[in-house]
Amino acid sequence: MNTFSSETLDAIEYAGELIAKAHHAIVLTGAGLSTPSGIPDFRSEGTGLWSHDEPLEVASLITFRTRPELFFKWFRPLVSQIFSAQPNAAHLALAQLEERGRLHAILTQNIDMLHHKSGSKRVFELHGTLRTLSCTQCYRKYASEVYLEPFIETGVLPHCPDCHALLKPDVILFGEQLPQQVLTDAQREARTCDLVMVIGSSLEVLPVAGLPMQAVDRGAHLIIVNNSPTYLNVRADVVFPQEISIIIPAIAERVLHD
d(CA 41, CA 31): 5
As to burial, measured by CB atoms within 10 angstroms (0-12 exposed, 13-18 middle, 19+ buried), residue 225 is buried
Looking at the chain, which runs of residues are DSSP E strands? Answer: 25-29, 105-108, 123-125, 128-135, 141-143, 167-171, 195-199, 221-225, 238-240
Cross-strand partners of 105: 26
Helix pair 144-154, 68-84: axis angle to 10 deg: 110
Using an 8 Å Cβ cutoff, are 81 and 49 in contact?
no
| Phi/psi of residue 96, nearest 5 degrees | -70, -40
d(CA 134, CA 139): 5
Which residue among the candidates 24, 127, 159, 221 is catalytic per the annotation? 127
Report the first-to-last Cα separation within the chain, whole angstroms.
Answer: 19
Active-site residue 104, yes or no? no
Specify the pairing of strand 221-225 against strand 238-240.
parallel
**Residues marked as catalytic:** 127
